[in-house]
Structure 1
Amino acid sequence: MDGKKKAYWLVVGAAAGLINGLLGTGGGLVVLLGVLRAKEPQAGAHAAATACALLFTLLSAATYTGAGRADAMLLVAVVPGMALGGYLGSKLLGRLPGRTLKLLLGASLAASGALMILF
């Protein structure tokens, strides 16, 4: 990997980490957009973003919980469902066309944004 690519991925990673640390979410989306911009296939981009998001999530959860900002019991209650959903989603990822993935991502982002504004 040349220096220009290394610098690109460093910036993508730093932006993703900053967004995820600040907002508690969104780092994976930054990685996804960075990978897509690098002309990787849609399914591979989603897989890479999910793998990176795991690290963001673990670090953020440890930081928030350690600082008393997250309810550890809530985490214990929600994580099994997230694990199941993540497993099922990863199985579907390879079966869906890139266009369908884009539509699902766009729809989920639009719905999430609307809910954030409303509530």
Structure 2
Amino acid sequence: MHQNHIHCSTPRVISVDKNAAYPPAFEAIQNQRLVPIETELRQIKYLNNIVEQDHRFSKRRIAWSQWFQRFATAEATIAGYESMHMIRKGQIADIGRKDALSQKIFIEGLFGVAA
């Protein structure tokens, strides 16, 4: 958790399953000031499932990419997978799901390469 906290922004909510070990562990990391007191622990089973379903595509791709040697390489590759998935799902403003030309232009600008 500490390493994630260094590389990411401060979490507003942490979603976990209903394992009884999470509340005491969460309280301990709050007491150590690794996360702010305002951060909420959310133990709602179905919200966590939604997050897992969204990452299902990425997990499938990453399973074939277990040869990462450095954190920076893994971070860049996973960011690329996530970006491409967001484009395909239509989550980027002003780019339609089936608008191949807009997607191509966006990808070229995002990654600095000709798609």
TM-score by length of 1: 0.26
TM-score by length of 2: 0.27
Q: Work out which structure has the larger RCO, using CA pairs closer than 8 Å and 6 or more positions apart in sequence.
A: 1
Higher strand share: 2
